[in-house]
Structures are given as C-alpha cells and as structure tokens.
Amino acid sequence: MTDEVREATAADRAGIQRLLRELHGEAADATTLPEIRQQARTFVAGDGDGDGDEIVGVLVATFVDYGHEPCGVVEELVVHPASRGSGTGAALLAQCKSWLEALGAEVVFVSAIDEEAAEFYLHAGFTRCTGPWLWAAAGQPA
Ligand SMILES: CC(C)(COP(=O)(O)OP(=O)(O)OC[C@H]1O[C@@H](n2cnc3c(N)ncnc32)[C@H](O)[C@@H]1OP(=O)(O)O)[C@@H](O)C(=O)NCCC(=O)NCCS
C-alpha cells in the first residue's frame, strides 16, 4: 500500500534527518528541512553613458539553503549583442557570485544554453558537471 504523501511540517524534522542520513551520513544532522532559506535576485548592467543609462545586460540568480550544501543557480544571463566583449557578462557574474557567497553558497550551478555559453563559464572558472545529472520536462508523468 502506498503511504500518504503530504507537505512536511516542523514536527517531521527528526524523521527527515533520519532519512537524509541514508544519503549524507552525520552531515544530514545540520539540515533545517522542512524550513528552506531561499532567495532570488535580478542584476542588471547599464551602458553607463549617463544618457538614461540603458540596460545592456541582465542576470537572474536563485539561492537555496536547507542546511546541507547551500547553493546558487544562475538562471538567466544575457548581454545585448552590441555590448558583448567589454566585460559586462563578467561583471554581472562577479556581482552574482559575491551575493551568493555572502549568503553562504558553497557551489554555484548553471545550465549553459549552448556550447559557446559553456565556454564563457569555463573561462570564468566554472567546471563541467560529471556524474548522474538528469532532467524531466514539467508535465511528464512522474
Ligand atoms: C555569454 C555572454 C553573457 C558573455 O557576455 P560578455 O559581456 O560578452 O562577456 P565579457 O565581455 O564579460 O567576457 C568576459 C571574459 O570571458 C571571455 N568570453 C566571453 N565570451 C566567451 C565565450 N563564448 N567563450 C570563451 N570566452 C568568452 C572574454 O574574452 C573575457 O575574457 P577576459 O576576461 O580574459 O578578457 C554573452 O556573450 C551573451 O549574452 N551570449 C548570449 C546569451 C548566452 O549565451 N547567455 C548565457 C546563457 S547560460
């Protein structure tokens, strides 16, 4: 028989830790689940010409921490084609990483949109993920 699936409450914390020890050993004891600290921030870069300061770059990032390996994700990063190659992308990424590090992120992930974007992140010091990463489109039966 399938057990009932429900949203966790604070009363479930000990049980959650017991289960997470199967994955993370004693490190699971630091978990704060089911309470999660999470934030999102959008950074923009202006063209800096003082004439209305048009936005030429945007980066969206998220942060999540439930007591085990707090992490950040670069969700979106794009610089206007006419403004590429002059440090805007690097500046946005640097601000984002400072914000995430101040929050306590231990790792920053990004899913690069294509191989050219991946080369930008490699140049910025990111490392390719290896191992059993998987994904599913929303709406697919679980
Ligand atoms: C990827 C992107 C954000 C880079 O922005 P940018 O402002 O042109 O990059 P910067 O000028 O800040 O470049 C910083 C450094 O990265 C290098 N770099 C930039 N793009 C690169 C690429 N595709 N491959 C390798 N290195 C790259 C630059 O030469 C520079 O090196 P340096 O610090 O040694 O001088 C921009 O090209 C873009 O918007 N591309 C289309 C959207 C995209 O791919 N977004 C990422 C989605 S995940």
Q: Where along the chain do its domains lie?
A: 1-35, 37-123
Write out pLDDT tens, residues 7-34: 999 999 999 999 999 999 999 999 999 9
What's the CATH number for 37-123? 3.40.630.30
Is residue 117 lining ligand 1, measured as CB closer than 6 Å?
Answer: yes
Q: Is the CB of 90 under 6 A from ligand 1?
A: yes
Q: Are 70 and 106 in contact (CB under 8 A)?
A: yes
Give the span between the Cα atoms of 108 and 127, in whole angstroms.
10
Percent of the chain with pLDDT over 70: 98
Residue with CA at minimum distance from ligand 1 atom 42: 78
Report the side by side order of strands in the sheet with 37-46. Answer: 37-46, 55-65, 71-79, 107-110
- The reply to whether ligand 1 has any atom less than 6 angstroms from the CB of 26 is no
- Beta bridge mates, 60: 42, 76
pLDDT in tens, 94-138: 999 999 999 999 999 999 999 999 999 999 999 999 999 888 889
The average pLDDT across 57-73 equals: 96
Name the token pair of 56. 């030429």
56 CA distance to ligand 1 middle (Å): 13
